[in-house]
Amino acid sequence: MGAAYFYHLTRGPLERTLPVLLGKAREAGWRIAVRGRDADRMEWLDEKLWQGADDGFLPHGLAGGPHDALQPILLTTAAAATNDPACLMAIDGAEVAPEEVQRLERVCVLFDGNDPEAVQVARGQWKALTGAGCSAQYWSEESGRWEKKAESGQGA
């Protein structure tokens, strides 16, 4: 059974934080689905990931291509990723079902702490997932480094 990790972005933007988390997930040997809500935003993110640091190449693809099932990292707006991920990273308020948290190794919910609406959506997701019995951790970068601020569920 996995857990949901909530990342409250207050200092670094998504395009800087996501590659770090993707790198750690790849180091764990996981395939990853990055789920967003808007196709244009996913195209923008695809471009940003290709322009990443020279020493941090992240093999990935945008859903809809002929090799989606082979992608180590698949950017998608669909509820089901075709690359058989062990990890889901939800951005921009993309929905996450309790069953996904329980089935996958890890679910990461990244949200913009400078956007009151995004914070409210993340709070709702936390309540829904922990209310369904999922383990969850809340991480904040407010101090300048990532710190675990709350934990709920199995083993907490």
Report the CATH number at residue 44. 3.40.50.10110
DSSP alpha helices (H): ranges in the chain? 14-27, 39-50, 98-103, 116-131
What domain range is 77 assigned to? 3-152
Residue 105, burial from CB neighbour count under 10 angstroms (0-12, 13-18, 19+) = middle
pLDDT attached to residue 144: 84
pLDDT attached to residue 7: 97
Q: Residue ranges of the chain with pLDDT lower than 50?
A: 155-156
pLDDT attached to residue 122: 97
- Number of structural domains found in the chain: 1
pLDDT attached to residue 143: 84
pLDDT attached to residue 53: 64
